[in-house]
Structure 1
Amino acid sequence: MPDDQSRTNSEIVSRYREMTPKSEALFAQAKAIFPSGVTHDGRHLDPYGIYVDRAEGAYKWDVDGNKYIDFFGGHGALLLGHNHPVVMEAVGPALAKGTHFGANHALEVQWAQAVQALVPTAERVRFTSSGTEATLMGLRLARSYTGRHKLVRFKTHFHGWHDHMTGGYANHFDGTSPVGVLDGISDAVVLVAPNDRDGVREALKGGDIAAVILEPTGSSTGMVPTAPGFLEFLREETEKHGTVLIFDEVVTGFRVAPGGAQAHYGIKPDLTSLAKILAGGLPGGAIVGRKDLFDALDYAATAVSGKEKIQHPGTYNANPVSAAAGIAALDHIRTSDACAVANAMGDLVRDKINQVFVEEGVNWACYGTFSSFHTFLNPKGRKIDPLAFDALAIDYEELKGKPKGLSHRIRVAMLVNGVDLNGWPGGNISCMHTAADMEATAEAYRETIRMLRKEGEI
């Protein structure tokens, strides 16, 4: 629903507007500057999103002074929560020394060593400014190494916004090119349904696939979960065909476990893309993996082999302030129970929300793994038991399907009730969230359901 067509008879929207007048005023200014008034698609909300003034731990406060339990979590970057003291203590001295040297520095070496201490496959590391850049470099390395051009991706999996990764995530599942993307690029991408073993075998048998890339826990951090045994299958099939296997651990890296999904599952990809938690909540990404693949970036190795070197500049690669934050965050994750605490809170909140769904008689389900949760809004009206919901029994298109306008209305109602969710709707949990936060979140869902029923939305 366009912003200017938001329901005027909604008590939910009316209450939201009453509590967020300063956010509304800022949005009015933003609409004259930014497309749709936002700087990230995930921040688009009808009638408008909140404008945050400050954050601490598991909470944030908007410009109107309203406090929210935060499940956006910096788009997944904040496993340690907002302003974790270990990270903040590291950033201050680094910032005082300088924001950019345009030269090598000791912190980039320490940061890479911190990555190697956790990620099992990080024989070599190349820092980037974002996860999008990391997957782009991963694809380039795979093509250089194999001499092949095609890429296998799984429908609904997200790998950033560069041209090879746009179609097949939210639309264009037929392989056609999204607007602004050249047909030739889309022609080099083979889209396969999630968990489709036959589709993978068919794609690989031609011998022209440079790489297979996926989110190891499933698309959108498990909204469409990966079936048991599928990662092992991919590892075997890619090795058989000489194809590079890339795990996109931009979200799962250092979250699922200190060593990421690959450490948890014991599967070794050839390349791994990292970002978010990697830089302790500051901008930063990396591609890591096998040394022989990284030789394409190496001056000496390419001189010996006679192969063309892959060029890779990047103004903010291994930025010293991001490096300081990343070193502190990764060291804390390595030496603490941060991942285990966040994962335990994930189990708790999913259980509590599903209890609310049962008690309120709503045919939804809260599901997920590790420290993320998702709400299945049941677009086909299935009769389900929230306490026994199996996401693997539901088609990926149905899991991703959201009844028109309902996701936005849920998010607005949850904000009214003191909780900021991702647009799934769902969220990422930090080690700073508490059992009391999980209880409050479940009760916010209860009140949201009642508000939606009153307005005839469900």
Structure 2
Amino acid sequence: MSDGTQPNLVIEAAYRERTPGSAKLAAEAVRLLPSGIAHDARWLRPYGIYAARAAGCRKWDVDGNVYVDFFGGHGALLLGHNRPEVLKACQEALLEGTHYGSSHAREVRWAQLVQQIVPSAEQVRFTSSGTEATLLALRLARAFTGRRKVLRFRSQFHGWHDHMTSGYANHFDGTATRGVLPAIAESVILCDPGDGEAVRAALESDKDIAAVFVEPTGGSFGMVPIEPSFLALLRELTAKHGVPLVFDEVITGFRVAPGGAQEAYGITPDITTLAKIVAGGMPGGAVAGRADILESLDFAAMAAKGEEKVQHPGTFNANPVSAAAGIAALKIIASGEPNRRANALARDLRDRLNAILAEQQVPWAVYGTFSGFHIFTNPDGRTIDPERFDPMALSWQEMKKRDGALSHRLRLALLVNGVDISGWPGGMTSAAHDEESLSHTCEAFREALRLLRREGDIAG
């Protein structure tokens, strides 16, 4: 077995042979950008691919290689790459102007669609990203309640601002991550996902909690899953204690169903954070929720109350091109058909990949819900039947654990065979995927397992 310190030489050699153009760009990028990248999730040894174009469920790199894409624009592309209606809307908006510095009709229509589709959206405020959305949601909750602390769950991600860094990938004890003030980390209460009694105890003993944040399908779109019944308990407990419940639907919004996880589960939060799909694959995010909470942003309402308004500038809030893309995408998604298709494709893919694991006698499993899939590489060496795997039977610590070196090699092996996944490892289907792309993915997965076994990463 590989000890994780040496690269998989055969796979890496094949990858390098296919991607000389990407290698050249990576060598230049590393001089200019930390690690040569613009997003942590794009870090890959020896280097990542450099894309040149994309369409539907596929993308091409600078060397002309084509990949079935499950990275999906970090989850933003439920409709796939370059959906014609979205592309047309962006082109029309570009011709009219990329930035007015003024309000415009598209932002009104965009907000109307969000309000119509998302159950909790009494009012909407647009941002430029998901991180900005969760930051604003926390500030609004504090302004509304007059309290200081936020309760979150280990393994769940809510952006990279200071209150959200501990307990996602490390610092599960709640201590401050590098660059974050200890006083800020001390205002964050971390509970284990699914631990209702810990939440109950925290809310009963600490009256300074301003909000409870949760990814409604669990950390990283269900990589660490939680039961829907836990969401119902959170709704009950937060309502009892007057604490705003925030659903972080940056990934799940408009993906699991048109109205997000709150529609799928029938549980309405007080505040919802959105990004990715809300802007149709363009930069953009939003906070939606109760009007009395978003009222803190309202000039007239706060003046009438004699209270300080929450300030919220943002150069690219409701950018007209993002608004155009968002309108076009949401009008298509409102029917629910893209969601049903992507969810069904992911369910089929999970089943087929598990059948391959069973066939190859690899004690891993592929699991997930809705349009996501996660590859559990069994770091603790459990005896696993891939086709009967229950992720809820394992602790969040085990589900979160992964062999980073093995995940890298799996990604390389799949890239060599024309499939791109995310590094956790896993991915998301879109409405643009089809039988041909799924069949190709299954063959690529089978070949990747063979390569990993040949190099000693998989026993047998």
Matches within 5 A, 1:338-377: 338-377=338-377
Q: Does 1:52 align with 2:23?
A: no
**What is the DSSP-based 3-state SS (H/G/I as helix, E as strand, rest coil) of the residue aligned with 1:55?**
strand
Q: Quick one: which amino acid aligns to residue 400 of structure 2?
A: K
* Other-structure match for 1:38: 37
Return the offset for 1:397. 1.3
- Contact conserved, 2:142 with 2:210, CA < 8 A, in 1? yes
Aligned equivalents of 1:228, 1:280: Cα separation in 2:
27
- Contact conserved, 1:6 with 1:46, CA < 8 A, in 2? no
- Contact conserved, 2:258 with 2:335, CA < 8 A, in 1? no
**What is the DSSP-based 3-state SS (H/G/I as helix, E as strand, rest coil) of the residue aligned with 1:233?**
helix
Aligned equivalents of 1:29, 1:132: Cα separation in 2:
29
**What is the DSSP-based 3-state SS (H/G/I as helix, E as strand, rest coil) of the residue aligned with 2:251?**
coil
Return the offset for 1:258. 0.5
Structure 1 stretches of at least 4 aligned residues deviating more than 2 Å after TM superposition: 5-9
* Other-structure match for 1:124: 123
| Count of aligned positions | 454
In structure 2, the CA distance between the partners of 1:9 and 1:430, relative to structure 1 (3 Å rule), is closer
* Other-structure match for 1:400: 400
* Other-structure match for 2:209: 209
* Other-structure match for 1:81: 80
* Other-structure match for 1:432: 432
- Contact conserved, 1:365 with 1:375, CA < 8 A, in 2? yes
Q: Does 1:261 align with 2:255?
A: no
Q: List gaps (5 residues or longer) in structure 2.
A: none
Aligned equivalents of 1:8, 1:72: Cα separation in 2:
23
Matches within 5 A, 1:136-285: 136-205=135-204, 206-285=206-285
Q: Quick one: which amino acid aligns to residue 447 of structure 2?
A: E
Return the offset for 1:295. 1.0
Q: Quick one: which amino acid aligns to residue 376 of structure 2?
A: F
* Other-structure match for 2:416: 416
Deviations 1:335-368 (A, max 9, x none): 3510000000010000000000000000000000
Aligned equivalents of 1:187, 1:414: Cα separation in 2:
42
**What is the DSSP-based 3-state SS (H/G/I as helix, E as strand, rest coil) of the residue aligned with 2:334?**
helix
Q: Quick one: which amino acid aligns to residue 40 of structure 2?
A: D
* Other-structure match for 2:296: 296
Q: Quick one: which amino acid aligns to residue 144 of structure 2?
A: Y
Q: Quick one: which amino acid aligns to residue 233 of structure 1?
A: L
Aligned equivalents of 2:59, 2:372: Cα separation in 1:
19
Return the offset for 1:7. 4.3
**What is the DSSP-based 3-state SS (H/G/I as helix, E as strand, rest coil) of the residue aligned with 1:61?**
strand
**What is the DSSP-based 3-state SS (H/G/I as helix, E as strand, rest coil) of the residue aligned with 1:26?**
helix
TM-score, normalisation: structure 2: 0.97
In structure 2, the CA distance between the partners of 1:343 and 1:9, relative to structure 1 (3 Å rule), is closer
- Contact conserved, 2:8 with 2:455, CA < 8 A, in 1? no
* Other-structure match for 1:18: 17
Deviations 1:121-179 (A, max 9, x none): 10000000000000000000100111100000000100000000011100000010000
* Other-structure match for 1:325: 325
Aligned equivalents of 1:320, 1:220: Cα separation in 2:
29
**What is the DSSP-based 3-state SS (H/G/I as helix, E as strand, rest coil) of the residue aligned with 2:144?**
helix
Cα RMSD (Å) of the superposition? 1.1
Q: List gaps (5 residues or longer) in structure 1.
A: none
Q: Percent identity?
A: 60
**What is the DSSP-based 3-state SS (H/G/I as helix, E as strand, rest coil) of the residue aligned with 1:48?**
coil
Deviations 1:40-62 (A, max 9, x none): 00000011000000000000000
**What is the DSSP-based 3-state SS (H/G/I as helix, E as strand, rest coil) of the residue aligned with 1:335?**
coil
- Contact conserved, 2:280 with 2:322, CA < 8 A, in 1? yes
- Contact conserved, 1:6 with 1:47, CA < 8 A, in 2? no
Aligned equivalents of 2:8, 2:293: Cα separation in 1:
59
Aligned equivalents of 2:410, 2:8: Cα separation in 1:
16
Aligned equivalents of 2:343, 2:13: Cα separation in 1:
36
- Contact conserved, 2:77 with 2:277, CA < 8 A, in 1? yes
- Contact conserved, 1:356 with 1:443, CA < 8 A, in 2? no
Aligned equivalents of 1:146, 1:227: Cα separation in 2:
28
In structure 2, the CA distance between the partners of 1:418 and 1:182, relative to structure 1 (3 Å rule), is same
Aligned equivalents of 2:23, 2:107: Cα separation in 1:
41
Return the offset for 1:435. 2.0
Return the offset for 1:207. 1.7
Deviations 1:216-275 (A, max 9, x none): 010000001112310100000000011000000000000000110001101010000000
Aligned equivalents of 2:232, 2:7: Cα separation in 1:
52
Q: Quick one: which amino acid aligns to residue 55 of structure 1?
A: A
- Contact conserved, 1:151 with 1:189, CA < 8 A, in 2? yes
Deviations 1:76-99 (A, max 9, x none): 000000000010111111000000
**What is the DSSP-based 3-state SS (H/G/I as helix, E as strand, rest coil) of the residue aligned with 1:427?**
strand
* Higher mean C-alpha deviation, range 298-307 or range 180-189: 298-307
Q: Does 1:455 align with 2:448?
A: no
Q: Does 1:64 align with 2:63?
A: yes
